[in-house]
Structure 1
Amino acid sequence: MDAKQSLTFLEDAQQRLAELPFETVSAILAQAQGAERVYLVFVDIIRGFCDEGVLASERVREMVKPVRSLADAFLAQGLPASNLLFLQDDHPADAVEFAAFPPHCVRGSGEEETVEELRSLVEMEGAQLFRKNATNGLFGVNTAGEPFHAFLRRVLTEPVTFVVVGDCTDLCIYQNAMGIRLLANQDNVQARVIVSRSHVRTYDLPVAAAKQIGALPHDGDLLDVVFLSHMRQNGIDVVAGIQS
């Protein structure tokens, strides 16, 4: 690897992200030609990543209040409660995923529950919760037993917009935003997928701390830049933030 060349790429990517425009709720709704054509997708904003457990992170928790404010702004401007979509980890105790990640968000532990600030949203009549057993939520299912990918194919019959918020930028945000983008591409349907830099986070685990616990290090700032940049390269609209 050419470290100098990689540093040049990173500096350029940081500069490009710093120059991203802000969007507004009203502009997103207008571009979509109606609030009924916009879906707000909450990814893993749950206690096991924000409040308690081995994977909980204060850095990740930082986006909870901005996300709540964003949701309130969309609802105030006409977004139907049925267009609130929650993708949330809900693992069995023997989840195969635990070979790659420490046990987390085990069903019945409380870690799999929505954070307090968003609980009133997920409990709104019509809001949909898809419980997933993998980082990618396409095969997560709602209370009716419908997989998320099947739901998407039901709504991807006309141009629609998805705003994806939550954590982690390089894991579940990346995989789920890309999943929506690629499914729309496959079905040849016009869909806008928006990721707001102000409303996503990933965790940080320095090299020294990772060595102490026998884990792989995870540079939150670096991975935010790399994965936000890669999403842009794949047709996802990454914006600096979304203002009410």
Structure 2
Amino acid sequence: MKYVEVIMSIKDEGEFFMKVLQKNEFLQKSNETLASILDMLEKLPVVKFDEIEADKAVLVIIDMTNGFAKEGALKSDAVKELIPRICELSEICDRRKIRKIAFADCHTDESPEFDAYPKHCMKGTAESEIVDEIKNIGGYTLIEKNSTNGFLEEAFRKWLLENPDINTFILTGDCTDICVQQFAITLKAYFNMNNKRARVIVPLNAVDTYDLGVHDRNLMNVMAAYNMIINGVEVVRDIVE
């Protein structure tokens, strides 16, 4: 039977402890687990805007830039297809006077992120700009970010301090398993650390990721959704009027 050796932990100083996974058993168990997760995701609720206090909420649009939706090394049709839904949510938030933030990936040549990803969203290029459809609606606070986690940006932490009444965050954009997941979990952990209750809501029809090699879009979306759920993020099917 085939197996995979995985380094699990350091047993003693300088000594690695190895755990052997039996491949067939692992795959069988994983299939059962994935089936259970899918059953759970199929039962996710739909949230209504009427349940949300508009003056305490913000729509967060993550990385809906040309460099992920329309051009460049990391463009994805799945991300492009998010544009109409996020535009709808943006217009709903304008009608309800819900604040909005838009994060935009924006890098320089010095970015260490390019050790892991191809060059993308370079500062001063069209790739780093929010897509026109969302930009034309406007009304958001633009925050440029130089890492996958927008929470780390000083401009966002300043915004949080200047808006202490906000306790509901509606997250949209890309990528579900990278920037969205990192921001959602860090944000939730921040409020937990400060003993404050906050809703971090992720409607699954307003986030997505990409297909590339072993990075299977559907699998990554499912696992990211599950990981956010077990970290206290409110993952839902949709958010509607």
- Counterpart check, 1:243 vs 2:217: no
Where do residues 125-136 of structure 1 align in structure 2 (5 Å cutoff)?
A: 127-136=140-149
- Calculate percent identity across the aligned residue pairs: 33
Where do residues 196-207 of structure 1 align in structure 2 (5 Å cutoff)?
A: 196-205=203-212
Taking the aligned partners of 2:80 and 2:59, their CA distance within structure 1 comes to 18
Name the counterpart of 2:178.
171
Counterpart selection for 2:135 from 107, 113, 119: 119
Taking the aligned partners of 1:169 and 1:67, their CA distance within structure 2 comes to 14
Alpha carbons 1:168, 1:200 under 8 Å: kept: yes
**How many Å apart are 1:190 and its aligned residue?**
1.3
- Counterpart check, 1:72 vs 2:97: no
C-alpha distance after superposition, 1:101-156 (max 9, x if no partner): 0000001121000001100244x3xx311111000012325xxxxx2123224434
Alpha carbons 2:201, 2:234 under 8 Å: kept: yes
Name the counterpart of 2:8.
none
Name the counterpart of 2:34.
10
**How many Å apart are 1:93 and its aligned residue?**
2.0
C-alpha distance after superposition, 1:31-60 (max 9, x if no partner): xxx311001000000000000001000011
What TM-score does the superposition give when structure 1 sets the normalisation length? 0.85
Name the counterpart of 1:148.
156
Name the counterpart of 2:215.
218
What TM-score does the superposition give when structure 2 sets the normalisation length? 0.86
Alpha carbons 1:194, 1:238 under 8 Å: kept: yes
Q: Aligned pair count? A: 217
Gapped runs of 5+ residues in structure 1? Answer: 142-146, 211-216
Alpha carbons 1:20, 1:239 under 8 Å: kept: yes
Q: CA RMSD in A?
A: 1.4
**How many Å apart are 1:159 and its aligned residue?**
6.3
**How many Å apart are 1:195 and its aligned residue?**
0.3
- Counterpart check, 1:91 vs 2:107: yes
C-alpha distance after superposition, 1:136-180 (max 9, x if no partner): 012325xxxxx2123224434x56100000000000000111121
Name the counterpart of 2:77.
58
Alpha carbons 2:91, 2:137 under 8 Å: kept: no
Alpha carbons 1:87, 1:140 under 8 Å: kept: no
**How many Å apart are 1:86 and its aligned residue?**
1.1
Which structure has more strand as a fraction of its residues? 2
Taking the aligned partners of 1:73 and 1:88, their CA distance within structure 2 comes to 21
Q: Which amino acid aligns with 2:160?
A: L
Taking the aligned partners of 1:70 and 1:130, their CA distance within structure 2 comes to 19
Gapped runs of 5+ residues in structure 2? Answer: 1-20
Runs of 4+ in 1 over 4 A off after TM superposition: none
Taking the aligned partners of 1:4 and 1:152, their CA distance within structure 2 comes to 44
**How many Å apart are 1:6 and its aligned residue?**
0.9
Alpha carbons 2:102, 2:143 under 8 Å: kept: yes
Taking the aligned partners of 1:179 and 1:154, their CA distance within structure 2 comes to 19
